[in-house]
Structure 1
Amino acid sequence: MKTLGETLKDARNKINLILRKVSAQVDIDQSLISKFEKNERKPTKDQLIRLASFYNLSEKDLIISWYSEKIAEDLKYTEATTEILKVAEEKINYYKTHNNGK
Structure 2
Amino acid sequence: MNFGEKIKELREGQGLLQRHLAANLEIDTPMFSKIERGERKAKRDQVLQLATLLHTDKSTLLSLWLADQVIDLLKSEPQANEAIEIVKKELAKA
- TM-score band w.r.t. shorter chain: 0.7 to 0.9
The number of equivalent residue pairs is 94
- Structure 2: where are the runs of 5+ without partners? none
Deviation digits for residues 19-70 of structure 1 (CA, Å, limit 9, x no counterpart): 2222223433322211111111110000010001100111101111111111
Q: Distance in 1 between matches of 2:82 and 2:19?
A: 44
Gaps (5+ residues) in structure 1? Answer: 97-102
TM-score, normalization by structure 1: 0.79
- Give TM-score, length-normalised by structure 2: 0.84
Matched-pair identity in %: 26
C-alpha displacement of 1:87:
2.4
Match of 2:69 in 1: 70
SS of the counterpart of 1:34? helix
Superposed CA RMSD in Å reads 1.7
Q: Higher RCO, 1 or 2 (CA under 8 Å, sep at least 6)?
A: 2
List structure 1 segments (4+ residues) > 6 angstroms apart after TM superposition. Answer: none
The equivalent of 2:40 in structure 1 is: 41
